[in-house]
Chains A and B, each alone.
Chain A
């Protein structure tokens, strides 16, 4: 049972990451490969605030969102200078920068040693120390993120995001300053990714930079490409599939090391097959 709860928590964390990235890639058409950076910012904010300052976990989530939002605002401003493939490369660069900061700012992040002993959540004397109680927090967070994302994509704002994705210059002619829209959704998305980071830090009780590499950003991208671009339920389905996949491989009897490598190969093959035969993903409404 504990094992299933563990998987469910990981699923919730990746589903939040998937939903957050889908707002930028699927709905707005900006091929961002930097989501792990905001995931990491959320994780380190919670890790530092809980271990160094003794701030409440739930307050640390809010502060993580704010810090990720501020940083993403400036990153978004720079990325706005790019489009298409150059946007992807630019975002790629920011992930590398954030990873390098996490790795090398040892005075703050302890570098490769990471930060250990991050406490589990607690509020009004209620401790969420068991995995089951943590799962409730994780699923509630996923629920809130899903509702907020749904609210966004069904608003007039969400329709403009899709129009930007389809033809940015054309929608500008109809009176929209697209920079504001792109910045707003990038910041919202980063804030959501930071929630995942906070959850991850408190759940695992340890963070180090190796979790927030470019590979992780590609993995989050794989979640939404598999599940479906411009479809929130697709992000959830993609997270479910990709979190469960390595476990399924483990059960077919592959040794642990081989299973881990097979997982990478299978992710790659899935993305290639989807691009060839189902570029919209399983539930997607948009193809890259």
Chain B
């Protein structure tokens, strides 16, 4: 089943088409890799799909029913979508635990005003923090964590959402092998739970290892797509992305 579909999605920055008339389909329960050179439009695509930047033209269809031409960021969690950011965006001057609790508690203003986090919130936050190996750091400020720990916390925050669709924007960049292993394990677990993952990554080895399907982007368009092992061997992909 197609979980996300885009039709003629376009976004320009100062006249330059970052995403150009892009139509694609992402399947449910798969890890879908998106690769491409820097500036090819990968992150812009995710930002459009999660409402972080406004769509200029085109349509996004979620689960075959919700047709959206405009997406507000606050709306996406209601469609079961969550994400991480290429440049880590944590709540820096809040504790590690609060970074997780804040996405678990009440959204409604009045209800949030009269809500204290409950034991089940703490239990869920504890599970997530143990999974990303940050339970011992729970009372530290996010700003005090190392780069890798910050990446893990961002992934933990996304995990806490119990979403259906996860966008991970370069989650492995700059990480030590043991942290790469933690994140790879998490992704495989999510896949086993039939969650859909959209993974932007430059590490071709990891894309080959994790992805079921791959889109190769260049200049805001899809250059190639298909099963990862086959796509990564295509001449035009090697030419555009890996160099001749």
Contact = CB atoms under 8 A, between A and B. Distances in A.
Interface of A: 152, 154-157, 159-160, 162-163, 165-167, 169-178, 180-181, 184, 285-287
A26 to B, nearest CB: 11
B93 interface: yes
10 contacts: A159-B102, A159-B105, A160-B112, A166-B94, A174-B161, A175-B76, A175-B77, A175-B78, A175-B107, A178-B74
Please provide the 10 A-B residue pairs with the shortest distance between their CB atoms, ordered closest to farther: A175-B77, A156-B105, A166-B91, A172-B73, A157-B112, A157-B113, A156-B115, A170-B89, A156-B112, A174-B103
A170 B109 contact: no
Interface in B81-121: 82-83, 85, 89-94, 98, 101-103, 105-107, 109, 112-117
B119 to A, nearest CB: 14
B51 interface: yes
Nearest to B108: A180
Contacts of A167: 89-92
Interface in B43-79: 50-52, 72-74, 76-78
B153 to A, nearest CB: 12
A156 B116 contact: yes
Contacts of B94: 159, 162-163, 166
Contacts of A160: 102, 105, 112
Contacts of A285: 93
A163 B72 CA distance: 18
Given A160-B112, A172-B73, A181-B109, A166 B103 contact: no
A176 B113 contact: no
Contacts of A180: 109
Nearest to A184: B109
A100 B109 CA distance: 34
Given A166-B91, A173-B83, A174-B82, A155 B112 contact: yes
Contact of B109 (A154, A157, A172): A157
Given A163-B102, A173-B77, 8 more contacts: A152-B113, A156-B115, A156-B117, A159-B105, A160-B102, A171-B91, A172-B51, A178-B74
Contacts of A155: 112-116
Interface size class of B (residues with CB under 8 A): 20 to 34
Contacts of A152: 113
A152 B110 CA distance: 11
A157 B114 CA distance: 8
Interface centre among A167, A173, A287 (most CB of B within 10 A): A173
B91 A173 contact: no
Q: Could you say which of A159, A171, A176, A180 has the most chain B C-beta atoms within 10 Å of its C-beta?
A: A159
A152 B114 CA distance: 8
Nearest to B161: A174
A162 B74 contact: no
Contacts of A177: 74, 107
A178 B102 CA distance: 13
Contacts of B78: 175
Contacts of A156: 101-102, 105-106, 112-113, 115-117
Contacts of B101: 156, 159
A32 B50 CA distance: 30
Contacts of A175: 74, 76-78, 103, 107
A171 B109 contact: no
B112 A162 contact: no
Contacts of B92: 166-167
A265 B82 CA distance: 50
Nearest to A179: B74
A155 B92 CA distance: 19
- Most chain-A Cβ atoms within 10 A of its Cβ — which of B82, B116, B161? B116
Nearest to A159: B102
A170 B106 contact: no
Given A152-B113, A159-B101, A174 B77 contact: yes
A169 B111 CA distance: 22
A169 B77 CA distance: 13
Contact of A169 (B73, B103, B107, B112): B73
A162 B161 CA distance: 19
Interface string B161-182: 1000000000000000000000
Nearest to B141: A285
Contacts of B106: 156
Contacts of B90: 166-167, 170
A162 B93 contact: yes
A241 B104 CA distance: 39
A173 B52 contact: yes
Could you say which of A166, A169, A184, A287 has the most chain B C-beta atoms within 10 Å of its C-beta?
Answer: A166
A234 to B, nearest CB: 15
A173 B47 CA distance: 10
B74 A176 contact: yes
